[in-house]
Structure 1
Amino acid sequence: MTGTLRRLRALPLRSRLALLVATAVALAVAAVAAACWFVTRVQLQQQLDTSLRSSKVDGRYLSSLYNYCQGTTAVPPRPFTGYTVQLVDSQGTVCITPRAAALTVSPADIAVAEGTQPDALHSARTESGTRMRVYTYVTPVSGDTTGSIAVSIARPMSEIDNPLTTLAWVLLVVSGVGVLGAGAAGLWVARTGLRPVDELTQAVEHVARTEDLSVRIPVEGEDEIARLSRSFNSMTASVASSRDRQAQLIADAGHELRTPLTSLRTNIELLARSDDTGRAIPPDDRRALMNSVKAQMTELASLIGDLQELSRPDAPNPGPLQVVALHDIADTALERARLRGPELTIRADLTPWYVRAEPAALERAVVNVLDNAVKFSPPRGTIEVALRNGELTVRDHGPGIPAEELPHVFERFWRSPSARQLPGSGLGLSIVARTVQQSGGEVGLRPAPDGDGTVAAIRLPGAPQPPPGL
């Protein structure tokens, strides 16, 4: 059994479907054919039994047969057309017409002859082995000392067996044709039904061979195959989009890295040329070069850190989530912002708010928002920070963001034309949006109510009190 199942699994799917369909049809046809054969057999036997019961032998014929068997007359009666007639007494003695094969006497026949039962219906064989259907009953016979004798009237079972044999061959042929037709139909149905699967297989093999993700499978209907095709098309579209975003990220990262690297290379070449030629660079110029190198190194390190952050999977909650105090994280980020903008005035109004997030990623997001405010604030400007009911707002008094640029501020490497001369990679707000969304929150930028500056708002779900046991 195990070997059969193993061989069945080794067959192609369409062959297995065709085989299963043919097997199911064969079982159904066999059951119907067997039922038909047995029902026909019962009907034919009932008809034969009815015919035997209604075919009572004429009394004169029986008297003539009895007298012949007793030797009182030498003239045998003519055969009873279509039937075998036999007389049976209570001792089992048989009297039959000449040239007729005697029937085997059964106990039921003797019981009828003895008068213990009215009649008997059974199957028997002749002395030559022919199967017969026998009906025995009691009838008075002239010349019998007892006044009555059992009469057995029989017809050959071939009247039933021959039609049943013919019917069996007909059913066998019809069943065979039906099974073959069912197998062919099953193969056709399997081939037709699995055509989308073949197309899907070919598409997958094509993608694996050529890495061409533009392949799409035509979708027809609303069945499972159509759903599978839609899922494959959706998957290839998602993979293609992911690959395009990856290629765009690499291209944008290369473009952004080129600027600080070019500046670093130029400054280092100037310093190296000065050492090689022995021509000293004036102290002020050398100090400016060193400051530029440090600034470019800082910008390069920041860009690399941003790229590492963006290289993490986009799946929700990539790191362990913890219950953290958003007001404490904002307070730490404010200290760093004051160091980066010592000439700025930063006002903060932070009320307690506890959220579930990744602490390091959330702190980086808040720092990025504050860095943007420091970067775009005018000299000796003011930055207003507030945390109320889970919404952290950072408002600067800079030039603001035009309405047409607001939809693009959270895109990777996007930078406003007016800000391209300022340091930065264009990744900060993208990291902010990603971190806030992974924590189940929302982030947005909007113009300040009085039109002076921009308000960045981060809203995170949480509570003003820490959970019990924290």
Structure 2
Amino acid sequence: MTRFRQLPLRSRLAMLTAVAVAFAVAFSAAACWLITRDRLIDQLDSQLSDVKLDVRSVQLLSEYCAGTTVVQAPPTPYTIQLVSADGSVCTSPDKPRIPAQRADTAVAAGRAAAAVHTTKDRDGAEMRVWTKRPDGSPPDPHGNRLAVSVALPMNQITQPLNQLALVLLIVSGVGVLGAATAGLWVARAGLEPVDRLTDAVEHVARTEDLTIRIPVEGEDEIARLSRSFNSMTAALAASRDLQQQLIADAGHELRTPLTSLRTNIDLLVRSEQSGRPIPAADKEALLASVKAQMGELAALIGDLQELSRPVRGPAAVEVVALHEIVDSALARARLRGPSLTISAELAPWYVRAEPAGLERAVVNLLDNAVKFSPPGGTVEVRLAGGELTVRDHGPGIPQDELPHVFERFWRSPSARSLPGSGLGLSIVARTAEQAGGAVRLRSADLGGTEAVLTLPGAATPPPVMPEPPAA
């Protein structure tokens, strides 16, 4: 079995086809041979049973056996003999004697009306024997009743059967060879799409070229496999493009704060090495700039980690009170925008989500509102029916820029001077999608921007299922 599994698939298919056809042909040939044999034996039995023997013929044969007369029997293929109840037999002239069987003596004794069987004569030839007891048959010299057996050689059946067996054997062999050849051809033709798929996979593994596509023909399983492979390579190509774009954008975003940070640190180091101290006010400004740039780097790295981590499984999802998370995020937003007025109307709402990711998304929405609000402005937060609305009164977003706000590292030209990485809204969109919801931005009436985060859930928490008792 192990060696069979090591063979190529087309060889296995050809072998299985040949074996299946061999079994079918062998079964059909055996059935044909057996049916033909039974029909020939039935015909032979019918021929034997139709032989008519009158009382005179039986009496003459009995006298011949007793030696009282000489019988000149005409040439005949039949062997005719008399069988007595004690098993003695008297055979017609010029015919080999056939030993009496128990069935023959039973007919002679009157225990059976007739008997038919196959046995061998004195010369070893196989004979088909029909025994019956005709009415009026004379007894033997000892007074026993007699039965008459009529026999024909079985070679008139066995010879045609042997010829038929030879023909069936030849036909079966040709059929099996033809089936193996056809199976190999069918396997080769049927596996041609698989060969193309294998070549494509090997090409991708060798060259990492994800642009290759397999031609799709028909609607069968191979076509479905080809479509799945094409979809997989397209998804991998898109994922690789996004990864490369992410790396390029991250490198670009990291370069600016790193360059500024390096410049400020170089100034501080040069001041210490040259012995020329920097004025206290300038030094304090440099240190504040270094601290701000390090905070910006930390925030950017945190956003990159959030976007690069894999999607958590169902085990990480739990029932979360969205209104409590919003309330906690509001406290942080008020610390970041002490001059702003942040109003909130929060109705209870429970969702299934990852707590840390959901809190990060809500914080990002509020941070955007705080960042773009003018000093002394107002931020309005409302949670009702699973819809969280955050509205600021800042400059707003032009209509032509709204389709790009959820792209990674995308930042409005008017906001490039403000701190931020351009990843905050991307994180919000990803979190909303994982929780089965959606997020959108729109221009608010009378100016400003309104962000709407919609999450499926309920106003009341689901009932807590009791834990099963310990075993």
TM-score higher than 0.5: yes
- State yes or no: 1:339 paired with 2:335: yes
Cα 1:71–1:403 shift into 2, 3 Å: same
Equivalent runs, 1:416-455 vs 2, <5 Å: 416-450=412-446, 452-455=447-450
Match of 1:40 in 2: 36
Cα separation, 2, equivalents of 1:156 and 1:311 = 92
Equivalent runs, 1:55-454 vs 2, <5 Å: 55-57=51-53, 65-74=61-70, 76-90=71-85, 92-115=87-110, 117-139=112-134, 150-314=147-311, 320-450=316-446, 452-454=447-449
Cα 1:260–1:59 shift into 2, 3 Å: same
Cα separation, 1, equivalents of 2:79 and 2:462 = 105
Cα separation, 1, equivalents of 2:116 and 2:342 = 117
Cα 1:58–1:305 shift into 2, 3 Å: same
TM superposition shift of 1:239: 1.9
Check whether the contact 1:356–1:439 (CA below 8 A) recurs between aligned residues: yes
Check whether the contact 1:390–1:460 (CA below 8 A) recurs between aligned residues: yes
TM superposition shift of 1:195: 2.7
| Deviation sequence 1:59-80 (CA, Å, 0-9, x none) | 6665655554444445x41443
Cα separation, 2, equivalents of 1:119 and 1:462 = 92
Cα 1:277–1:32 shift into 2, 3 Å: same
The residue identity in structure 1 corresponding to 2:156 is: E
TM superposition shift of 1:254: 0.3
| Deviation sequence 1:278-308 (CA, Å, 0-9, x none) | 4443444333333222221121111111111
Q: Which runs of 5+ in 1 are unaligned?
A: none
TM superposition shift of 1:117: 4.3
Check whether the contact 2:84–2:144 (CA below 8 A) recurs between aligned residues: no
Q: Which runs of 5+ in 2 are unaligned?
A: 466-471
* Seq. identity, %: 65
Cα separation, 2, equivalents of 1:174 and 1:199 = 37
Range moving further from structure 2, 41-50 or 144-153: 144-153
TM superposition shift of 1:429: 0.6
Give the 3-state SS of the residue equivalent to 1:378 in structure 2.
coil
TM superposition shift of 1:161: 0.9
Cα separation, 2, equivalents of 1:47 and 1:469 = 85
Cα 1:260–1:176 shift into 2, 3 Å: same
The residue identity in structure 2 corresponding to 1:228 is: L
TM superposition shift of 1:156: 0.4
Check whether the contact 2:85–2:144 (CA below 8 A) recurs between aligned residues: no
TM superposition shift of 1:420: 1.7
Q: Please provide the CA RMSD for this pair.
A: 2.8
Range moving further from structure 2, 115-124 or 203-212: 115-124
Give the 3-state SS of the residue equivalent to 1:104 in structure 2.
coil
- State yes or no: 1:49 paired with 2:45: yes
The residue identity in structure 2 corresponding to 1:185 is: A
Cα separation, 2, equivalents of 1:349 and 1:89 = 121
The residue identity in structure 1 corresponding to 2:218 is: G
TM superposition shift of 1:170: 1.4
The count of corresponding residues between Structure 1 and Structure 2 is 463
TM superposition shift of 1:143: 12
Cα separation, 2, equivalents of 1:125 and 1:255 = 105
Check whether the contact 1:64–1:77 (CA below 8 A) recurs between aligned residues: no
The residue identity in structure 2 corresponding to 1:186 is: G
